Amino acid sequence: MDKRLVIAVVLAIVLMIGFYFFAAAPPVTEDHDVVVEPFVVAPRVPAPAPLPPPDVVGAERTVAVYTDLFRAVFTSIGGTIKSIELKEFRDAEGAPVVLKGDDLLPPLVIGTDKRFHLGRLNFSVRPVNLHLWHGKPTANLVFTYTGEGFSIQRTFTFHYDRYGFELTDKVIGLGSYWITLGKDFGIFERDEAGHLGPVILADGKRVTVDKILAEPRHFTEGIQWIAQEDKYFFSAIVPITPAEKATIWSKGDNTFVALKMEGGENSFFIYAGPKEYEVLKAFGFGLERIIDFGFFAILAVPMLWVLKQIYSIFPNYGVAIILLTLLIRIPFIPLINNSIKSMQGLRDIQPKVNEIKERNKKNPQRMQKEIMELYKKHKINPFGGCLPMLIQVPFFLALYKVLSIAIELRKAPFIFWLTDLSEKDPFFILPILMGAAMVIQQKMTPSAMEPMQQKMMMLMTVVFTIILMKFPSGLVLYWLVNTLLGIVQQLYMEKKLPTIQAKK
């Protein structure tokens, strides 16, 4: 949970609950000279094959793979990836999103020790280029190298209609080796909020690293996958053949992640692309866990599904957010009505409460007893207005998470000036409207606040509005619609309350 979320949630809860009590209750820079030193692997064979020299022999050859979803460029040097261009996603200038490798440590490079010298080998490759479509749904790209006492064959299998592909390594003559995602492969938008860098799913637990590590972190049990992520994109290696170990380590300003495999034949599933929940879940490897929905994931996942279903009917995510907000609010209507009635009742008996306080200034225990008897007489629960607000908090946090990280909102337009619901409102119109709506709601709420309390609540509203100016416009739209629905519901109850009281 980022700092903006913590501040916003705290202020929102304080504004809701604090107002109720005040009103009604009794008073990185890159280092290209880095040497990667995560580990040293002792070969299992008695007489290890000599490692290849560090200098590349022969000219580099590149191979392109074209599918409906991406264009990938591979290199003969190490049999690794240079880049993957995602055809359906654009950057701020309108160019395709490109997930790039780095010569410091290329994606999918392998090595027996800290030097990763196997990544300096110049492999033979066949065929030249691959073009996949529905008439040719799958194809293989094969890299081979034969050295003195060892050989390596890397076979990539691609599919025309998905981002994931398979890799089979046949490493003969070496006892074990490491395979890594390299430096920053899968990370595209470094300026976005949220986690950037390595992730490991082991024993069902999602492990992330948010800082430079002083010592490597090793995982040996239940390794499901390793990955590198930003807010909307990621790359991952899923070891179909069980891995011996997964390691995260830092050197300089860079953090890396790798798997240790036995020599012989090993199979992997490779992914490099967007964080699309349903797509990732369909692979069956638990890759959907790369999307961190937070503590209330049990609520967030169904909310995302409903949002997408609404979008399939009304193809505008702004409209979908408005309708989802309405759907989420409907089950809470009875609770909120009871809250409004409770607050109205507290306001009605406030003069009597003040009389009791004045009469028992020097006897706090008697004052408290008489106030509670007054509540009991009028059948008022002093905490009746607070409970519905607290019950809504998990749903609020879950929907916040969905609207903050869902790639579906990236570059999604709403109306006029709102051309990207994942970005802040460029003219701050929604945050200002939200602040005005909060002021109106406060004015409407039954209140017995003192002048100082009123000023404090107004100050908190201003601070909250300023914070919202930096939030994604899709999230602010939800808050605004939810607040407006609250105002409408309160107007309805104010008209209905006199009738209810007349019947009593």
**Per-residue pLDDT of the chain in tens (504 residues, 90 and over written 9):** 455 555 555 555 555 545 444 444 444 333 333 344 445 444 444 444 445 444 555 789 999 999 999 999 999 999 999 999 999 999 988 999 999 988 889 999 999 977 788 999 999 998 789 999 999 999 999 999 998 899 999 999 999 999 999 999 999 999 999 999 999 999 998 865 678 999 999 999 999 988 888 899 999 999 999 999 999 999 999 999 999 999 999 988 889 999 999 999 999 999 999 999 999 999 999 999 999 998 899 999 999 999 999 999 999 999 999 999 999 999 888 888 777 777 777 777 778 887 888 888 788 888 888 888 888 887 777 666 676 677 888 988 898 899 989 999 999 999 999 999 999 999 999 999 999 999 888 877 655 556 677 778 888 888 888 988 988 999 999 999 999 998 998 888 877 766 445 444
Backbone angles phi, psi at 245, to 5 degrees: -160, 150
Angle at 457 between CA 452 and CA 463, to 5 degrees: 125
Look at the alpha carbons of 288, 291, 293, 299 in this order and tell me if their dihedral is positive or negative: negative
Q: Can you tell me the distance from the alpha carbon of 287 to that of 290, in angstroms, rounded to the nearest whole number?
A: 6
Question: Which pair of tokens denotes residue 246?
Answer: 């997964």
Token pair recorded at residue 336 = 């909120």
Longest dimension (CA), the chain: 99
233 and 181 in contact (C-beta within 8 Å)?
A: no
Q: Token pair of 360, please? A: 């028992």
Phi, psi torsion values for 257, nearest 5 degrees: -140, 140
DSSP 3-state of 178 = strand
Give the model's pLDDT for residue 50.
46
pTM equals 0.82
Distance between CA atoms of 238 and 270, rounded to whole angstroms? 6
SS3 345: helix
Q: Among 278, 396, 391, 275, which Cα is nearest to 339's?
A: 391
Please enumerate in sequence order all residues whose Cβ is within 8 A of that of 252, keeping only pairs 6 or more positions apart, or say none: 31, 34
Per the CB < 8 A criterion, the answer to whether 301 and 277 are in contact is yes
CA distance linking residue 104 with residue 121, whole number of Å: 15
| Domains of the chain, first to last | 3-27+297-503 (no CATH), 62-290 (2.70.98.90)
Quote the tokens at residue 156.
């990539």
Cα angle 474, 479, 481; round to 5:
90
- Identify the pLDDT of residue 190: 81
Provide the residue type at 23 as one letter: A
Q: CB atoms < 10 A from the CB of 294, how many?
A: 16
Name the token pair of 350. Answer: 């406030």
